[in-house]
């Protein structure tokens, strides 16, 4: 994402125009130089709850205007070339005036093709999306609405609450708990919600909760009715508090709610499945920084996130071109090899770049067979239209020769191995041990990037619970690019060698796990 002003984009042919009369008007050309404003629901936080259509729009947006409610995880999916503007409340301040936002949307549509107005949850549920759509259409700009998972639905599901249930609740009401702040609001008549059997999903209700609860009880709702208050729903920091209606005001005040929170009132709350809800995951709510020494997305980070941890990887890396043309030269005589082997996505990308550089395409690989170490590497090939002939999951020579043996050979296989400079190559050694003749070429270099102290700041603020070092290399890279400070975070090292390197660098490990994820998780939960 960038925050510079966009040049006027060229209006290309419509992406999804079907065959038809050649002079059919472009769906994008709604007026001279006018784009389309898409009012898009970002869901309650978890990027997995975006719709496919929303994701496609984020990938091709020229400008994105978003609220503060839109999560970082969703914003990370916005294409890097888009201009991204936060028009929501910042640090307790005021949000941008609605009339100003309307104006910004209209102006943006006059200079850009795809303008995305990204709103938390669904744009038309308590999101003023209706007003924005009217203003945009009144200005003669095309407006499209892409619904999102509204907080009530996403949050209830992740908290394990069935909002309706046969024999318990046959009515669900979405209602705002914010009243009186805007004279033009239609007032809610709480006396009409006193009956059992109705589930209330209350948005923006934390501040007014004690008075709401009193009014509902006065209207006839039993003071023992169960209530759940879900803060930061669907996010790694999701927290659910439960209390009966008669006491929820006090309990919520004592809990100190700071994030967005949804209140669910009704008998269905008693049916909550605590055991399989989002918060029951092994590492839910634990914020983990995985120190890395390579640019690829680490499998460890992915698996920790799958267990509910809020995972950050640092430092960031840039891929730089190879120091010489040996990769280009090797690819130009690809038929001298039997195989090409990859251990990571960055090298795969570098090969495709090299093919382009020498004026060729994927056919440059000719009859080469492809070997990929790891599923992520195989997936990187697959995305480029190549199915790896073998996917290797270990460096064990026996496994490698078995894989090669599947393909008849009369001489040792000759393997081209494009790799990243400065990285220890266990794979090359393993291939040689398995009897291959290996030609290593440097496909690219990578360089860790300093982030201007952002990660250090988060560590110092106590926002990170654990720093995980998975290799001694990651210790060195972290020391160099993030710094010596690890403040209050606990330090976990995987394997004794990593632990010794961490100790030597001044990061005394609190936890030393062996190489399995299970052992790390056990240690982190202890």
Closest approach of Cβ 525 to ligand SAH, in Å? Answer: 25
| Binding-site member from 146, 151, 400, 436 for ligand SAH (CB under 6 A) | 151
Q: What are φ and ψ of residue 287, in 5° steps?
A: -95, 120
Contacts of residue 201, defined as CB under 8 A and 6 or more positions apart, other chains included, come to 151, 152, 156, 163, 172, 173, 174, 175, 262, 263, 264
| Binding-site member from 45, 160, 315, 374 for ligand SAH (CB under 6 A) | 45
Binding of ligand SAH by 309 (CB under 6 A): no
Catalytic-labelled residue, pool 11, 72, 89, 518: 89
CB 207: neighbour CB atoms within 10 A?
14
> β-strand 287-291 against 261-265: which pairing, if any?
unpaired
Residue of 236, 359, 310 whose CA lies nearest to 466: 310
Instruction: List the interface residues with ligand SAH, window 176-235 (CB under 6 A).
Output: 203-204, 230, 232-235
Catalytic residue at 67?
Answer: yes
Of the candidate spans 106-114, 149-157, 310-318, 348-356, the one that interacts with ligand SAH by CB under 6 A turns out to be 149-157
Of the candidate spans 98-106, 162-170, 256-264, 356-364, the one that interacts with ligand SAH by CB under 6 A turns out to be 256-264
Number of residues that bind ligand SAH (CB under 6 A): 23
Is 198 strand, coil or helix? Answer: strand
Report residue 236 CA to chain centroid gap: 11
| Binding-site member from 36, 102, 150, 346 for ligand SAH (CB under 6 A) | 150
Is 337 strand, coil or helix? Answer: coil
Sign of the C-alpha dihedral computed for residues 414, 371, 348 and 425 taken in this order: negative
d(CA 507, CA 526): 20
Which letter does DSSP use for residue 387 in this model? Answer: -
Residue of 157, 154, 188 whose CA lies nearest to 173: 188
Catalytic residue at 97?
Answer: no
DSSP E strand stretches across 325-474: 339-342, 369-373, 390-392, 414-420, 437-449, 466-469
| Binding-site member from 121, 266, 315, 413 for ligand SAH (CB under 6 A) | 121
Q: Which is nearer to ligand SAH, 124 or 434 (CB)?
A: 124
Q: Which is nearer to ligand SAH, 234 or 472 (CB)?
A: 234
Closest approach of Cβ 181 to ligand SAH, in Å? Answer: 12
| Binding-site member from 35, 73, 88, 260 for ligand SAH (CB under 6 A) | 260
d(CA 297, CA 381): 15
Residue of 386, 384, 375 whose CA lies nearest to 296: 375
Closest approach of Cβ 486 to ligand SAH, in Å? Answer: 30
Catalytic-labelled residue, pool 46, 67, 310, 344: 67
Q: Which is nearer to ligand SAH, 239 or 292 (CB)?
A: 239
Closest-approach residue to ligand SAH (CB): 121
Q: Which is nearer to ligand SAH, 120 or 236 (CB)?
A: 120
Q: Which is nearer to ligand SAH, 196 or 253 (CB)?
A: 253
Instruction: List the interface residues with ligand SAH, window 48-87 (CB under 6 A).
Output: 69
Segments in 409-508 forming alpha helices (H): 426-433, 454-460, 472-481, 496-504
Catalytic (active-site) positions = 67, 89
Q: Which residues bind ligand SAH (CB under 6 A)?
A: 44-45, 69, 119-122, 125-127, 150-151, 155, 203-204, 230, 232-235, 260-262
């Amino acid at each position: 994402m960038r925050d510079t002003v966009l040049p006027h984009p060229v209006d290309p042919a419509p992406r999804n125009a079907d065959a038809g009369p050649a002079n059919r008007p472009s769906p994008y050309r709604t007026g001279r130089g006018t784009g389309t404003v898409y009012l898009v629901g970002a869901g309650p936080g978890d990027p997995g709850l975006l719709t496919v259509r929303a994701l496609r729009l984020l990938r091709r947006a020229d400008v994105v205007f978003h609220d503060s409610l839109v999560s970082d995880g969703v914003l990370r999916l916005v294409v890097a070339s888009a201009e991204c503007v936060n028009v929501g409340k910042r640090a307790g301040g005021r949000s941008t005036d609605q009339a100003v936002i309307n104006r910004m949307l209209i102006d943006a549509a006059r200079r850009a093709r795809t303008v995305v107005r990204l709103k938390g949850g669904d744009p038309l549920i308590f999101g003023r999306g209706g007003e924005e759509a009217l203003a945009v259409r009144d200005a003669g700009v095309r407006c499209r609405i892409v619904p999102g998972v509204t907080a009530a639905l996403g949050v209830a599901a992740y908290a394990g609450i069935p909002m309706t249930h046969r024999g318990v609740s046959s009515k669900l009401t979405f209602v705002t708990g914010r009243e009186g702040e805007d004279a033009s609001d239609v007032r809610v008549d709480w006396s009409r919600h006193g009956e059992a059997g109705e589930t209330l999903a209350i948005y923006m209700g934390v501040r007014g909760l004690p008075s709401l609860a009193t009014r509902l009880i006065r209207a006839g709702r039993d003071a023992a009715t169960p209530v759940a208050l879900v803060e930061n729903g669907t996010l790694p920091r999701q927290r659910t508090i439960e209390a009966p209606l008669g006491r929820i005001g006090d309990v919520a005040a004592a809990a100190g709610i700071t994030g967005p929170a949804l209140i669910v009132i009704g008998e269905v709350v008693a049916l909550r499945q605590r055991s399989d809800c989002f918060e029951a995951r092994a590492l839910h709510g634990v914020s983990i920084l995985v120190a890395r020494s390579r640019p690829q997305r680490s499998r460890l980070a992915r698996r920790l996130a799958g267990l509910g941890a809020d995972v950050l990887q640092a430092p960031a890396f840039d891929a730089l071109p190879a120091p010489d043309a040996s990769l280009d030269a090797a690819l130009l005589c690809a038929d001298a090899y039997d195989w090409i082997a990859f251990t990571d996505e960055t090298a795969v990308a570098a090969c495709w770049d090299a093919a382009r550089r020498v004026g060729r395409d994927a056919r440059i690989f000719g009859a080469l067979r492809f070997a990929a170490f790891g599923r992520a590497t195989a997936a990187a090939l697959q995305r480029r239209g190549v199915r790896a002939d073998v996917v290797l999951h270990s460096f064990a020579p026996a496994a490698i020769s078995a894989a090669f043996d599947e393909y008849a050979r009369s001489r040792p296989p000759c393997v081209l191995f494009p790799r990243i400079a400065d990285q220890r190559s266990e794979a090359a050694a393993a291939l040689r041990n398995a009897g291959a003749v290996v030609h290593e070429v440097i496909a690219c270099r990578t360089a860790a990037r300093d982030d201007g102290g952002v990660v250090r700041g988060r560590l110092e603020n106590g926002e990170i619970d654990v720093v995980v070092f998975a290799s001694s290399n990651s210790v060195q890279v972290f020391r160099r690019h993030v710094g010596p400070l690890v403040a209050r975070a606990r330090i976990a090292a995987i394997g004794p060698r990593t632990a010794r390197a961490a100790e030597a660098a001044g990061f005394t490990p609190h936890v030393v796990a062996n190489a399995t994820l299970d052992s790390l998780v056990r240690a982190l939960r202890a």
